[in-house]
Structure 1
């Protein structure tokens, strides 16, 4: 029989036998034990193997100074002319600065600044161009007194290094250190935490015909291997985020399977980042052609992620996400005293 995969079944109502998931706001008292080929059983949380229980329950350490025991909002700032949702809106420095300041005022806990579109079909951007789009924006924000964590969304070590010099505090690599062979060592040397995202193929071709044996297990295994390689390079697991890569080499059904099984990824022992904001599958399911009109669908996915214990939500619509979370927390709080 294939290896078992342990998916905690989240609950917001902790019972006497419930365990706290990743030190956060979600609990579980039962676990779904899954195998490739469709075999599934349930197990009481108290009966988990000790190593699995430790991975699932150990509180996640702070990332870039942000506590992982509450959901955090990452505001997306694309300084690109061709991103799928907001390309060209914030590629001028003044516009980028204004958008960053607005997102922080609206409730963003951290910013994710990128200078290369990774939408389906996007072409690679030259390193010098990517640096010129991102590092000056980061430096300008720091010079203006912005102290919030800033992530650099890049696959390239030279871009990450320039961003770190300008004040970035997190590296968000959609290739999980697979594009640039020097990225892992650069991250270790810089001493920054990193997000490792799963993608099948490069942006140019990733949506041509994505296929998996079983997408949930295949993505889990790939992320597990990425985390292991990062650890081998000298980066502590506690300094790593994982992202299942919604929309990166996935069909509609692949995305839905990953979202339904999100809690499985807590077994990697890392905090989880979810980036589904305004993506095509939301438009398909809601018959919403324009990305900017997918706010409500994006909020539905974000709140689903929070109910699964996801620690960081990467979103375009910060104000709306902040408002949704402000309601979600008191509405779902269970009094145990």
Structure 2
């Protein structure tokens, strides 16, 4: 199982907002993750925490592209965490090689077509709306059945515009339009997501459903979850701290 390290070049991400919000701090953190054995660095310039304000395309590109250009000199795989086709295209040109779209192509009508043209791996997450509206959409009959159904819709949309099947990765969207019980139900049935036949990314790092008053207090629970997922066939976990997750996977 791969470890994807989170690099938020943002002032307002829920777990590390502001820590890497300038070029020097972001590059330094990226180099630390490389030294710790990260498999993929996921670079984002827009927070998607519940309630977050959207940033402009110009600001998102200004935050992420210089960092991608610098870190890509170090032979590390980089993904761009964006919902915008324009940002994704700029990032791939700058040295990223994977698009990680939390909206699964729903936020920008040009995204799927752009991903198809760029011919790079595309991660489609289960998504029901932007940060300010997601909490009101956490209503399910059977959350696992509904997530699989809605992911299948995004897969079909991706295939229809020419994204190759072997370029698709799926993410059940832990913490996005989901209550704690929904997140746990997905984790407990992750084998059903894996059985869909695509690589599966799980991003649960330091999220509120894991318990603890602050994101930092949830780190141990995140590590335990990585250990649990390591035997399920999940492709990668998206985490804030690389070293302890690499250690638990090699033990």
Normalised by the shorter chain, which TM-score bucket? over 0.9
Q: Say if 2:113 is the partner of 1:185.
A: yes
In the alignment, the residues of structure 2 paired with residue 237 and residue 224 of structure 1 have an alpha-carbon distance, to the nearest angstrom, of 12
After superposition, the C-alpha distances for 1:176-209 in whole angstroms (9 at most, x for unaligned) are 0010000011111111111000022211121235
RMSD: 0.9
Q: Return 202-211 or 178-187, whichever deviates more.
A: 202-211
Contact 2:40–2:78 (8 Å) recurs in 1: yes
1:220-259 aligned within 5 A: 220-259=148-187
Q: How much has 1:295 moved relative to structure 2?
A: 1.2
Q: How much has 1:163 moved relative to structure 2?
A: 0.5
Q: Say if 2:19 is the partner of 1:80.
A: no
Q: Say if 2:204 is the partner of 1:204.
A: no
In the alignment, the residues of structure 2 paired with residue 221 and residue 304 of structure 1 have an alpha-carbon distance, to the nearest angstrom, of 25
Q: Say if 2:47 is the partner of 1:117.
A: yes
In the alignment, the residues of structure 1 paired with residue 185 and residue 8 of structure 2 have an alpha-carbon distance, to the nearest angstrom, of 28
Per the alignment, residue 91 of structure 2 pairs with 163
Q: How much has 1:159 moved relative to structure 2?
A: 0.5
Q: Say if 2:206 is the partner of 1:278.
A: yes
In the alignment, the residues of structure 1 paired with residue 111 and residue 127 of structure 2 have an alpha-carbon distance, to the nearest angstrom, of 16
After superposition, the C-alpha distances for 1:271-295 in whole angstroms (9 at most, x for unaligned) are 0000000001012xxxx11101211
In the alignment, the residues of structure 2 paired with residue 251 and residue 160 of structure 1 have an alpha-carbon distance, to the nearest angstrom, of 29
After superposition, the C-alpha distances for 1:194-247 in whole angstroms (9 at most, x for unaligned) are 100002221112123510011000000111111111011101111111000000
The structure 1 residue matched to 2:240, chosen from 291, 299, 316, is 316
Per the alignment, residue 52 of structure 1 pairs with none
3-state SS of paired residue (1:268): coil
In the alignment, the residues of structure 2 paired with residue 319 and residue 215 of structure 1 have an alpha-carbon distance, to the nearest angstrom, of 32
After superposition, the C-alpha distances for 1:139-181 in whole angstroms (9 at most, x for unaligned) are 1122xx3111100000000100111111010000000001000
Q: How much has 1:307 moved relative to structure 2?
A: 1.9
TM-score computed with the length of structure 1 as normaliser: 0.73
3-state SS of paired residue (1:73): strand
After superposition, the C-alpha distances for 1:46-84 in whole angstroms (9 at most, x for unaligned) are xxxxxxxxxxxxxxxxxxxxxxxxx11000000000000
Per the alignment, residue 24 of structure 2 pairs with 94
Per the alignment, residue 195 of structure 1 pairs with 123
3-state SS of paired residue (1:101): helix
In the alignment, the residues of structure 1 paired with residue 191 and residue 79 of structure 2 have an alpha-carbon distance, to the nearest angstrom, of 24
Which structure 2 segments of 5+ residues have no match? none
In the alignment, the residues of structure 1 paired with residue 146 and residue 215 of structure 2 have an alpha-carbon distance, to the nearest angstrom, of 28
After superposition, the C-alpha distances for 1:82-141 in whole angstroms (9 at most, x for unaligned) are 000000000110000000000111121110000000000011110000000001110112
TM-score computed with the length of structure 2 as normaliser: 0.98
3-state SS of paired residue (1:294): helix
Contact 2:128–2:137 (8 Å) recurs in 1: no
Consecutive aligned runs of 4 or more in structure 1 exceeding 6 Å deviation: none
Q: How much has 1:266 moved relative to structure 2?
A: 2.1
In the alignment, the residues of structure 2 paired with residue 325 and residue 305 of structure 1 have an alpha-carbon distance, to the nearest angstrom, of 10
In the alignment, the residues of structure 2 paired with residue 256 and residue 189 of structure 1 have an alpha-carbon distance, to the nearest angstrom, of 36
Q: Say if 2:60 is the partner of 1:136.
A: no
In the alignment, the residues of structure 2 paired with residue 244 and residue 212 of structure 1 have an alpha-carbon distance, to the nearest angstrom, of 14
Which structure 1 segments of 5+ residues have no match? 1-70, 328-337
